[in-house]
Structure 1
Amino acid sequence: MKSYLGQEHQEYFDHTDVVGDICYNFIDENGRSSLSSWNERVIALELDQLREIPLVIGVACGLEKVQAIKAALEGKLVHVLVTDEQTAQALFD
C-alpha cells in the first residue's frame, strides 16, 4: 500500500486489521473486507462481486506482499496466482 498511498497514509494502516488490498478493497488476514474507513471512500468492485467471477487471476510478488497474498487466497478471492519463486516459497513457509 505504501507504493501508491505514500508513507503519510501508511501510519494509518499500521493501526488497523488491513494486510493488503485487492481491487482497491482493503482486506484483513482472512481475505474479508477490513473495517477500515477507507473502504467506505472508494468506488471499486466489491469482494462479493469479485467472488462471482468464474476465473480470477492474481499477479503479485515480493516478500512485502506475502501476508496480503495469503489473505486473498484464504478469502478465496483468486483462483490462480502468478508470482515469483521467492514469494511462492515464503507462502509455503
Structure 2
Amino acid sequence: MHIEARLFEFVSAFFALTAVLYGVLTTLFATGGVEWAGTTALALTAGMALIVATFFRFVARRLDTRPEDYEAPKSVTAPGNWASSARTAGGRC
C-alpha cells in the first residue's frame, strides 16, 4: 500500500500545482479574470487524491509489508541460457 499511497500523493501534488498554474494563467490571459470553475475542479481533484493517499497510508501502517513494497527488491536470475533452449526446441517455446 506504500506504493499506492506514494502514487496518489504525486497525483495530488500534480493537480494542486496545475490548479495554481491554471488560476494564474487564466488571470493573466483571460478577459474575464480567473476562471473559477476549472480552478475549483482542479483543486477539488487534488483534495480527493490526497484523501485517497491518506487512506492508503493509514491502511499501509496496519498491514504487513508486501513484497512489492520493499525498497530494494531481490533480483532473481534464471539459470542457463534461454536463447539456446529456444533454438533446440526448433524455435517454439
Q: Which has the higher contact order (CA 8 A, sep 6+)?
A: 2
TM-score (norm 1): 0.18
Structure label with greater radius of gyration: 2
TM-score (norm 2): 0.18
